[in-house]
Amino acid sequence: MFLNPSARAITRAKRKTLEKFHFFNVYDSNDNVIGKRIAIKDILAESIIIPQLNSEEVVRMSIGIDGGGDDDKKSTKVVISFPDFESPNSKDNQHLVGIYFGPEDYISLKNILEPINIELSEIVSHGALTKVGWRQFELFIIGDLKLLKLVYGLQSNSATRFCLLCHATSDQSKHGVDVMPRTLETIRNGISQVKKRSTPSTRPSELARLKKNYGSVDAEPLLTCIPLSHATPPPMHIMMGIVNSVFTVLEKHNTQVAKELRKKAGIQDKYRKGFSGKECRDFLKYIEDNNYQGPCADLFLAIRRIQEYMKIGIEVDLKNMKSDIDVLLDLVRKSELELSIIPKLHYLEKHVVPFIESHKAWFSEQGLEHIHSQVNGAIRRIPPKGTSKYEKWSKYFMETQLMLNCL
Ligand SMILES: [Zn+2]
């Protein structure tokens, strides 16, 4: 027989669960509370079901960083997930570590990531307690490339050396030149050179020149416990960037064809930047299923072939993947349209295959999207009144998410 628990019993159970976790505030530069975070060791000990692996086996843990939302609802989330566990991208496998409402900038990220970095450094050096005993961890990072560049103290995509993972310039990426990889060490060296050659009274233009000359660096890296060899080129963002850049060119040269294609593929014509991840997948499927032969068909089909390698749990034939990537890059370079080697194409050409080769996997950032849509749903339930709304929103969201993970 099942008993219906009373509301009071549910509240008591909830309180008892939440008591096991240490919550901390996240502040902005004026000491206002703009978010919350939880101790990662509490999450590992209390809410994560780690498969009964051999205790010698290292658990791979991915730190995801994602921003989203508009205006005052703009939020940045830090999430941990486990790429080798079952259904790694399902929403149950996304464990929220922290959230803040506010700008996606270095200072705000520093406020949330500094304590997280200390905790992660300890976990990576000594391991942590889990429900199945003490385990060692290997850390990866994944997320929006724009945010990851801030996290590692680098300048934006428009910088001379635009890449998170190597020192390529746009001219070098245009010609597919192999360039020296970035490491935490090269970034730190760049910053120390800039510091050595500047003073508080150095003119901003001179400071910008120095930063550019020392590898387009901007500030000290914030997550020093995850080497750049463990920064994942994010599959979904890479595909979205490439599909959207080709579609934009098609729209420019063949407005009518682009309009019809969009309609036939069932993608709504909204006033926004471009196709979402799902829309890209639907669009490429439409192109293939309907044997589309119009302008840019060869490019879209080449992208579609690469998309096939992104499925979870498939054994990737790296030789085939590399040759399919080369086909796409070749088509872009030879195209008569004004296609350029955008940064996402560079990541695809130079960094995806080496990542899969060294880690025998390609992790997806798709799970992060679930968290994002849940934030929007959750904060709608909390009226945006008072100056402490960010504190209320983040507390409510963290607690709800934690309860979901603990069920
Ligand atoms: Zn690169």
Q: For the chain, which residues make up each domain, given as ranges?
A: 9-149+365-406, 153-221, 235-359
Distance (Å, whole) CA 47 – CA 72: 31
Mean pLDDT computed over 376-389? 71
Å from CA of 163 to ligand 1 middle: 5
Residue 127 has pLDDT above 60, yes or no: yes
Could you tell me if 108 and 24 are in contact, meaning their C-beta atoms sit under 8 angstroms apart?
no
Residue 42 has pLDDT above 90, yes or no: yes
Pull the structure tokens for residue 218.
Answer: 């901007």
SS3 239: helix
Å from CA of 164 to ligand 1 middle: 6
Å from CA of 165 to ligand 1 middle: 5
Per-residue model confidence (pLDDT) at position 99: 94
Q: What percent of the chain has pLDDT over 70?
A: 96
Å from CA of 191 to ligand 1 middle: 19
Side-by-side strand order, sheet with 59-68: 23-27, 33-38, 95-101, 75-81, 59-68, 137-143
In 3D space, the residue among 194, 143, 186 whose CA is nearest the CA of residue 167 turns out to be 186
Å from CA of 219 to ligand 1 middle: 19
Per-residue model confidence (pLDDT) at position 305: 95
Per-residue model confidence (pLDDT) at position 26: 94
Mean pLDDT computed over 325-342? 94
Distance (Å, whole) CA 173 – CA 341: 7
Residue 386 has pLDDT above 70, yes or no: no
Å from CA of 340 to ligand 1 middle: 15
What's the predicted TM-score (pTM) here?
0.91
Å from CA of 390 to ligand 1 middle: 37
Å from CA of 148 to ligand 1 middle: 14
In 3D space, the residue among 188, 224, 239, 249 whose CA is nearest the CA of residue 347 turns out to be 239
Å from CA of 185 to ligand 1 middle: 16
Å from CA of 216 to ligand 1 middle: 13
Å from CA of 179 to ligand 1 middle: 7
Per-residue model confidence (pLDDT) at position 384: 65
> How far, CA to CA in Å, does 395 sit from each of 24, 337, 387?
10, 50, 14
Q: What is the pLDDT of residues 79-89, one digit of tens each?
A: 999 988 888 88
Range from 65-79, 335-349, 375-389 that averages highest in pLDDT: 335-349
Å from CA of 239 to ligand 1 middle: 16
